Structure 1
Amino acid sequence: MPIKRHILPSIIFAQFAGTSLWFAGNAIIEPLILKTGLGTEIMSYVLSSVQFGFIIGTLVFSLLMLADRFSPSRVFMLSAVLAAICNFSLLTDTISQWHLLFARFGTGFFLAGIYPVGMKIASDYYKEGLGKALGYLVGALVFGTSFPYLMDSFIPPGDYHIIIKTTSLLAVFGGILIDFWVPNGPFCKPISKLKFKEAKGLLKIKSFKKAAIGYFGHMWELYAFWAFTPLAIKTYNQINKQAFQVSLTTGIIIALGGIACIGGGFISQRFGSYKVAFYSLVVSGLFCIVSPLLFELPVYLFIFGWAIWGMAVVADSPQFSNQVTMAVPIHLKATALTITNCIGFTVSILSIQLLSYLTTIFSVNYIYVFLAIGPVVGVLSFIQKAKKGN
């Protein structure tokens, strides 16, 4: 049956709206921390709390197989509303350290019902051309990630309430849109009860393991790159006596990654997901290695280089998700995506905490070299896969 034209645009917008909550707190982290009366020493914990919430959320969602047992659109909607409530709670007059951490944790927890579930909904509609569809979906995530930074660059200094209100309302609207406009897709095969043995059996599927390892390498680099791009721009400004607007520049760099995801989706239609993911890892890994040199370049070459890195660092994400869904039984797609997201975001916390620690012992312009660990692991996984021919 032909797919109605409004389906994919609805999923894309809802994914963008829901995931705008992800970095809403990160974009305004300094005024939020000042509101607690504490110093910047808790910044890395606030940055990681949403990731940790997402990890616990994906663990719960995957163990209970929620999006495989119930309507994924309804799961998406409820998750979006609950994530928006957690985000909106940041608007209280006084906020403690624990309130801030738990609000971001709760937002991350319910994002587990938005990001991987949104990809599950897309895979229920698109059996052929899923790589392109997921390119749009991950692109929407990237645009959602950049949105709070872009907003912050245009609002009056300190008036972060606008960002919290806008992202919360967007998430609620996106959830309602999915629930009303996107019914279960033609390839949705819900299961009636928990099937732990089948979920455990995913680890025996070689193609799933290879795709997952590549994804984990990609995740080591991605969120640490996003989280520490503002620091890179500040550092470049200090070293070279420039005055680039940090929020606007960060937002543009992250948003360009969304364009790369969409472009990679189209390229995958001709050359395959494997090649798009592999060469994206190679390019981003090279940027990790040469990153100290970027700080020595003239200003526009620095921004250009960081922007190309920002495109390469995320262009492989939808293609890894495509490989994961294609490797597993149709009724376990949501569980497989959620499990890989759970482990991948655990990896991202480790890299964020590592870079935070490295800022205390190295000059900032050298810390990004350590992000190369992820692409190296991912590329080696691809090479091993090619040698074994599976």
Structure 2
Amino acid sequence: MMSASFLTRHPLAVIVIAQLFGTSLWFSVNGVGLALQEAVGLSEGDLGLLTIAVQAGFITGTLLIAITGLADHMRASHLFALSAVLGALINAAFIGVADSITLAAVARCATGLCLAGIYPLGMKLVVSWTPSHAGAALGWLVGMLTLGIASPHLLRGLTLHLPWQWPLLLASLLALVAALMVFRLGVGPHLPAKAGSGRPWAGLGAFKQRQFRKAALGYFGHCWELYAFWALVPFLVSRELERLNASASLQPWLSFAVIALGLPGCVWAGRWSRKAGSAHVAFVALLTSGVLCLVYPLLGSLSPWLLLALLGVWGISVIADSAQFSALASAHAPAERLGAALAMMNAIGFGLTIPSIALVTALWASQSVAVIWWLLPGPVLGLIAMRGLHLPSAKA
């Protein structure tokens, strides 16, 4: 294993790789969705329910650490590591209950609960190590979150001729590695290892800051679109493969590619933010994905190759703004409440993913690509809300 000195010399690399490995738990079941439909008879609606269960668990977890102040009271690296270990174990346990939709949903909800100790705490760890260029650093972090969410499709593609349980076990193994990496790294010098007494509802105090509210509202609009789009990707890809009379075995590979394109999108956005500012980059990315929400259904009868290419563009833009919203929120949140503020913002934002995922997965069978229009209010309202948003010059 890497030495402690190596870890502290390259903290951002350690955190973003751990984020990639830890968040492979998020869509681990979606990656084997088609196999589960065949093996245990799950429907599209059941898969949507399991996705919603993860979101519900994540929201519950982020609210828990936000209202208790746990995110600022417990050492961030310890909470991340503990959450990754528990998430790995629960994700593996899903295999034993997959044939019961009720128990499967409970297991996925518990996995989401553990993810609440991985994603927001990863953001805090990045700020604790690299505060001077948070936008670019968080771009890498969210890019790795995106790759982590895409990774189950890759794992399924690599194990296509093996039982569906293999990708889930591999995702759990990656999460255990993430726990060890972050535990050994620890917390950076730019935030205290422990902060305050963990006052209940501390995260809500950040919403008193006008600029924080603008960043949060823009983020909420982004969340309405993002996870519902990711949940739709396998369906959208399968539709175009059917129109091309292509092999269904290509579906996990193309689904991975569409979602994974968010990684270069986030990195590009992070680099651009150092010149143009996080607010401008977030606006352009949200506008781009919003335009795609509007026009994609109108183009649904055109060439499948064109639509697959548009999915690639959408995969890049739909997540590129996320890190910039987080950087803006981090800049305007009180330092002593940073973990709680980010956790609260995540909790509300992810709460909005539940109705959007439920809508598109439930209506896909009857509306096909037209369900995408249900995502459009998110970018529209987010763009309106973030007018006048800026990053303080001291942190630009």
> Shared topology, TM-score over 0.5?
yes
**1:41-120 superposed matches below 5 A:** 41-92=45-96, 95-120=99-124
Cα distance change, pair 302–317 in 1 and its aligned pair in 2 (3 A): same
Match of 2:329 in 1: 324
Match of 1:281 in 2: 286
Cα distance change, pair 334–249 in 1 and its aligned pair in 2 (3 A): same
Match of 1:29 in 2: 33
Residues in 1 aligned to 2:105 and 2:166: alpha-carbon distance in whole angstroms: 20
Decide whether the 8 Å contact of 2:44 with 2:362 is kept in 1.
Answer: no
Residues in 1 aligned to 2:27 and 2:21: alpha-carbon distance in whole angstroms: 12
Match of 1:334 among 331, 339, 342: 339
The answer to whether residue 384 in structure 2 is matched with residue 380 in structure 1 is yes
Match of 2:3 in 1: none
Residues in 2 aligned to 1:288 and 1:94: alpha-carbon distance in whole angstroms: 33
Deviation (angstroms), 1:47: 1.7
After superposition, the C-alpha distances for 1:231-269 in whole angstroms (9 at most, x for unaligned) are: 111222334544461111010011111111011101101
Residues in 2 aligned to 1:281 and 1:156: alpha-carbon distance in whole angstroms: 35
Residues in 1 aligned to 2:43 and 2:203: alpha-carbon distance in whole angstroms: 44
Q: Does the residue aligned with 1:196 lie in a helix, a strand or coil? A: coil
Residues in 1 aligned to 2:325 and 2:169: alpha-carbon distance in whole angstroms: 33
Decide whether the 8 Å contact of 1:190 with 1:331 is kept in 2.
Answer: no
Match of 1:7 in 2: 11
Decide whether the 8 Å contact of 2:129 with 2:187 is kept in 1.
Answer: no
Deviation (angstroms), 1:360: 4.6
Q: Which amino acid is the alignment partner of residue 158 of structure 2?
A: F
Residues in 2 aligned to 1:347 and 1:18: alpha-carbon distance in whole angstroms: 23
Residues in 2 aligned to 1:41 and 1:307: alpha-carbon distance in whole angstroms: 25
Deviation (angstroms), 1:369: 1.9
Decide whether the 8 Å contact of 2:22 with 2:148 is kept in 1.
Answer: yes
Please report the RMSD computed on the Cα atoms of aligned residues, expressed in angstroms. 2.0
Extract unaligned runs of 5+ from structure 2: 1-6, 391-396
Q: Which amino acid is the alignment partner of residue 263 of structure 1?
A: W
**1:148-227 superposed matches below 5 A:** 148-157=152-161, 159-188=163-192, 190-196=194-200, 198-227=202-231
Decide whether the 8 Å contact of 1:28 with 1:160 is kept in 2.
Answer: yes
Deviation (angstroms), 1:343: 0.7
The answer to whether residue 380 in structure 2 is matched with residue 366 in structure 1 is no
Normalising by structure 2, what TM-score? 0.92
Instruction: Give the total of aligned pairs.
Output: 383
Match of 2:133 among 120, 129, 132: 129
Deviation (angstroms), 1:301: 2.1
Residues in 2 aligned to 1:360 and 1:185: alpha-carbon distance in whole angstroms: 52
Decide whether the 8 Å contact of 1:278 with 1:316 is kept in 2.
Answer: yes
Match of 1:145 in 2: 149
The answer to whether residue 314 in structure 2 is matched with residue 309 in structure 1 is yes
Normalising by structure 1, what TM-score? 0.93
Deviation (angstroms), 1:300: 2.7
Cα distance change, pair 94–366 in 1 and its aligned pair in 2 (3 A): closer
Decide whether the 8 Å contact of 1:127 with 1:187 is kept in 2.
Answer: no
Q: Which amino acid is the alignment partner of residue 331 of structure 2?
A: M
Residues in 2 aligned to 1:86 and 1:150: alpha-carbon distance in whole angstroms: 21
- Give % identity: 35
After superposition, the C-alpha distances for 1:12-57 in whole angstroms (9 at most, x for unaligned) are: 1110110010010111124335555554442221121111110111
Cα distance change, pair 18–250 in 1 and its aligned pair in 2 (3 A): same
Residues in 2 aligned to 1:70 and 1:10: alpha-carbon distance in whole angstroms: 20
Q: Which amino acid is the alignment partner of residue 112 of structure 1?
A: A
Higher mean alpha-carbon deviation, 176-185 vs 13-22, is at: 176-185
Decide whether the 8 Å contact of 1:277 with 1:317 is kept in 2.
Answer: yes
Q: Which amino acid is the alignment partner of residue 95 of structure 2?
A: L
The answer to whether residue 338 in structure 2 is matched with residue 348 in structure 1 is no
Q: Which amino acid is the alignment partner of residue 209 of structure 2?
A: I
Q: Does the residue aligned with 2:296 lie in a helix, a strand or coil? A: helix
Cα distance change, pair 61–157 in 1 and its aligned pair in 2 (3 A): same
After superposition, the C-alpha distances for 1:242-297 in whole angstroms (9 at most, x for unaligned) are: 44611110100111111110111011011110011000011000000001244333
Decide whether the 8 Å contact of 1:48 with 1:352 is kept in 2.
Answer: yes
Residues in 1 aligned to 2:378 and 2:303: alpha-carbon distance in whole angstroms: 28
Deviation (angstroms), 1:354: 1.2
Cα distance change, pair 94–17 in 1 and its aligned pair in 2 (3 A): closer
Cα distance change, pair 293–30 in 1 and its aligned pair in 2 (3 A): same
Cα distance change, pair 324–12 in 1 and its aligned pair in 2 (3 A): same
Q: Does the residue aligned with 1:137 lie in a helix, a strand or coil? A: helix
Extract unaligned runs of 5+ from structure 1: none
Residues in 2 aligned to 1:334 and 1:43: alpha-carbon distance in whole angstroms: 31
Residues in 1 aligned to 2:99 and 2:352: alpha-carbon distance in whole angstroms: 29
Q: Which runs of 4+ in 1 moved over 6 A?
A: none
Higher mean alpha-carbon deviation, 61-70 vs 266-275, is at: 61-70
Residues in 1 aligned to 2:365 and 2:154: alpha-carbon distance in whole angstroms: 29
Residues in 1 aligned to 2:57 and 2:330: alpha-carbon distance in whole angstroms: 24
Decide whether the 8 Å contact of 1:149 with 1:248 is kept in 2.
Answer: yes
Decide whether the 8 Å contact of 2:48 with 2:362 is kept in 1.
Answer: no
